[in-house]
Structure formats: C-alpha cells, structure tokens
Amino acid sequence: MNILGIESSCDETSVAIISNEYLTANLISSQDFHSKYGGVVPELSSRAHLQIVIPLVKDALKKSGLNLNDIDVICSTAGPGLIGALLVGLTFAKGLSFSLKKPFVAVNHIEGHLYSGFLMEDKPEFPFLGIVVSGGHTLLLLVESFTKIKKLGSTVDDAAGEAFDKVAKMLGLGYPGGPNIQKAAAEGNPEKIKFPIAELKEPYNFSFSGLKTSVLRYIQNNFDGSKNIPEQDLNDIAASFQNAVVRALSRNTVRALNNFEVNSISLAGGVAANKAIQEEMTKVAAKFNKKIVIPRAEFCGDNAAMIAFRGLKLFEAGYTSNLSYSPFPGLSKKHFV
C-alpha cells in the first residue's frame, strides 16, 4: 500500500510517501524568504506552496520508484494552520483523489506531530504522554491509541514556539526565533535571570505571555533598545528565557507522570528540536523510568511524513474524508475524548 502525504499548513511545503510501511520520501521545501519580513506572510506562503507542490509530488514519486497510479491513499493536512496555505495542499490532494479515484484522508496537523515519534525506529508505546510544542500549540496529552487522545492541558495564551519567536524578535535575533535563541543560549548563563513561569489553576496548562512580557521589561529596564544589548547579556537573556520554558514544560510533565500511568513519553513539534528541552525531558523520563521518544529534526518541524503516517493510521481505523472537506484553522475535536 502506497500513501501520499501533503503538508502545507504554514511555511513548509512537504510531500512524503509511505510505501508498505516504509518511508520512501519526505521532501521538505522551506520558505526561507519570510525571514526578511520578520515572520510568515500568509499570502506569500500560499503562492510559494502553489509553485512547489507539483514538482515535489513528482520528485517524491521518482524517489520512491512509483507512478501516480500506484498511490492508494492521498492524505493532506486540513488544519490548523494558515487558511490560504492549507487550501493549496488540501485542494490539490482532493483533486488528485478525484482524478485517481483513490480515497482521501484529511489529517489534523497536531495529530500529525503527536504521532511523529512512530517515524523513528524506537517507537512510543501506548499509553503515552504526548507533549506537542510547536509554533501554534503547546499541548500535554494522554494518548491511549491512534484514535483515543485525552487532553490534559494546553497553553492559555502564546504557544512555546511563539514565545521563542517573539523573544527572538525582541533580541533582534530574527525569524524563526527558536533555533537562533538556542544558539545564543548555548553561550549564555541560564541561571543569570530568574524569569517567572506562570502557575495556573489548571495544573497541566501553560502560559507563556507573562514570561514574554518579563523578558521585554528586563530589556527595557536594563538596555537602551535591542540593538544596544551587549553580546554576553543577550546570550544570558536567551539562556535564561529558554531555561524558563524548559522549567514550565518539565514541571507540568512531572505532574502528569505523577498522576497518570504511561508506558512512554513522546515529545514532538518544531520546539522539540530544542536541545535544552530534549535534555531536560530525557532527565525527567529517566527519573520516572520511562522510555522517551523524540523525533529526529526532520520529523520535529513541519513535514509530510507525519501527515502520511497519521493518514495511514486513520485509514486503517476506517476513516476517509469526503471531497467537500474544508480546511479548518482551529484544533479538531474528533479524536479527543
């Protein structure tokens, strides 16, 4: 069975093929040009997806030694994401499904991230604690199966990745912020500034907007604009901010591990590529004697391999989507219990 996956929710166009359970192609085209605008420009993103999606499908087929007619199921991200960007991949996938007379499966992007650990050789084991940290979401989930997900907590304001991006902007580090903060933080002292992490009524929820504001206040109170922060101070701010995100994620993870019996932990999403977060989560897992799965970088950021995999599991569970399926900007409730 050959599964074609298409991802176009934000600034990566990606096409993947899973052929008889093996990932034979995972091509990712990143729209780097957004960096000069300091963030993703939705309309430019849609146009870039439109230009690249067909060449990527052709390359993925070639790389997998397949023809279009060999594809059995077509999957595409349906949301959440930028509506215009989503429309490109989704409409293309539906068109292919119609012309090839093959089933179409709409995939929730967050569910794609959530199960991306299964793309690794050493896979998560159910039930697992899923931590999805991306540019748009921060979720703590109890995952019992491919169709049973219980939400324990989420961010009440900014997502973890969003906080990284905004703080990077304050520090003049450019977009995307996560990797740049990580680089600066590697040269800084994480204990230098004790940035606060929010304590909420709901024990598994997160809030990063107060942290973001305290970084802003610190910069305003101590420096005359972001351009005038000496390099070592900038590195210390980056390291101390990153440390606060690490503490928030690890605090809620520990709470969940104290209260729920799981067999493994799976960290996923673009922010899961962060080395400090990976190290802390690996320590937490070891303390609780749990296996932890962190996808390799290619599968942390947006990619179609995770969409093809999620689509395959949905298809195996009996789900297909009809061709009137519309993109949705928010989180689907379908598999959440």
Query: What is the spatial distance between Cα 41 and Cα 100, in angstroms, rounded to a whole number?
Result: 33
Q: Which does 177 bind (CB under 5 to 8 A by kind): Zn ion, ligand KG4, none?
A: ligand KG4
Query: What is the spatial distance between Cα 90 and Cα 102, in angstroms, rounded to a whole number?
Result: 15
Which lies closer to ligand KG4 via its Cβ, residue 42 or residue 179? 179
Which lies closer to Zn ion via its Cβ, residue 117 or residue 188? 117
Q: Which does 301 bind (CB under 5 to 8 A by kind): Zn ion, ligand KG4, none?
A: ligand KG4
* 2 three-state secondary structure: strand
Which lies closer to ligand KG4 via its Cβ, residue 76 or residue 274? 274
Which lies closer to ligand KG4 via its Cβ, residue 71 or residue 310? 310
Query: What is the spatial distance between Cα 99 and Cα 116, in angstroms, rounded to a whole number?
Result: 29
Measured CA distances, 235 to 144, 216, 220, 239, 323 (Å):
40, 15, 16, 6, 50
Q: How far is the CB of 242 from Zn ion (least distance, A)?
A: 20
Query: What is the spatial distance between Cα 332 and Cα 69, in angstroms, rounded to a whole number?
Result: 31
Q: Is 303 in the site for Zn ion (CB under 5 A)?
A: no
Which lies closer to ligand KG4 via its Cβ, residue 79 or residue 301? 301
| Segment lying near Zn ion (by CB under 5 A), choices 41-49, 51-59, 294-302, 314-322 | 294-302
* Subset of 42-101 contacting Zn ion (CB under 5 A): none
Which lies closer to ligand KG4 via its Cβ, residue 155 or residue 274? 274
* Residue 146: DSSP 8-state: S
Q: How far is the CB of 307 from ligand KG4 (least distance, A)?
A: 12
Q: Is 302 in the site for Zn ion (CB under 5 A)?
A: yes
Phi, then psi, of 46 in degrees rounded to 5: -60, -45
Q: Which does 117 bind (CB under 5 to 8 A by kind): Zn ion, ligand KG4, none?
A: none
Q: Which does 96 bind (CB under 5 to 8 A by kind): Zn ion, ligand KG4, none?
A: none
Chain residues binding ligand KG4 by CB under 6 A are 10, 134-136, 161, 164-165, 176-179, 182, 269-271, 273-274, 301-302
Q: How far is the CB of 12 from ligand KG4 (least distance, A)?
A: 7
Cis peptide before 176 (omega within 30 of 0): yes
* 35 three-state secondary structure: helix
Report the C-alpha dihedral over residues 27, 307, 139, 329, rounded to 10 degrees: 100
Pair 4, 308: CB distance under 8 Å: yes
Query: What is the spatial distance between Cα 76 and Cα 93, in angstroms, rounded to a whole number?
Result: 6
Which lies closer to Zn ion via its Cβ, residue 133 or residue 197? 133
Q: How far is the CB of 164 from ligand KG4 (least distance, A)?
A: 4
Q: Which residues pair with 14 in a beta bridge?
A: 7, 28
Q: How far is the CB of 37 from ligand KG4 (least distance, A)?
A: 15
Residues 6 or more apart whose CB falls under 8 angstroms from that of 318 comprise none
Strands 264-268 and 128-133: parallel
| Segment lying near Zn ion (by CB under 5 A), choices 130-138, 188-196, 230-238, 259-267 | 130-138
Both structure tokens of 302 = 């947006």
Pair 135, 270: CB distance under 8 Å: yes
**Closest C-alpha to 293, from 53, 159, 50, 114:** 114
Please work out the total of residues on this chain that contact Zn ion, with binding judged by CB under 5 A. 2
Which lies closer to Zn ion via its Cβ, residue 11 or residue 302? 302
Which lies closer to Zn ion via its Cβ, residue 7 or residue 233? 7
Q: Is 134 in the site for Zn ion (CB under 5 A)?
A: yes
Both structure tokens of 45 = 């993103």
Q: Which residues pair with 22 in a beta bridge?
A: 19
Q: How far is the CB of 156 from ligand KG4 (least distance, A)?
A: 17
Q: How far is the CB of 34 from ligand KG4 (least distance, A)?
A: 12
Q: Which residues of the chain form contacts with Zn ion (CB under 5 A)?
A: 134, 302
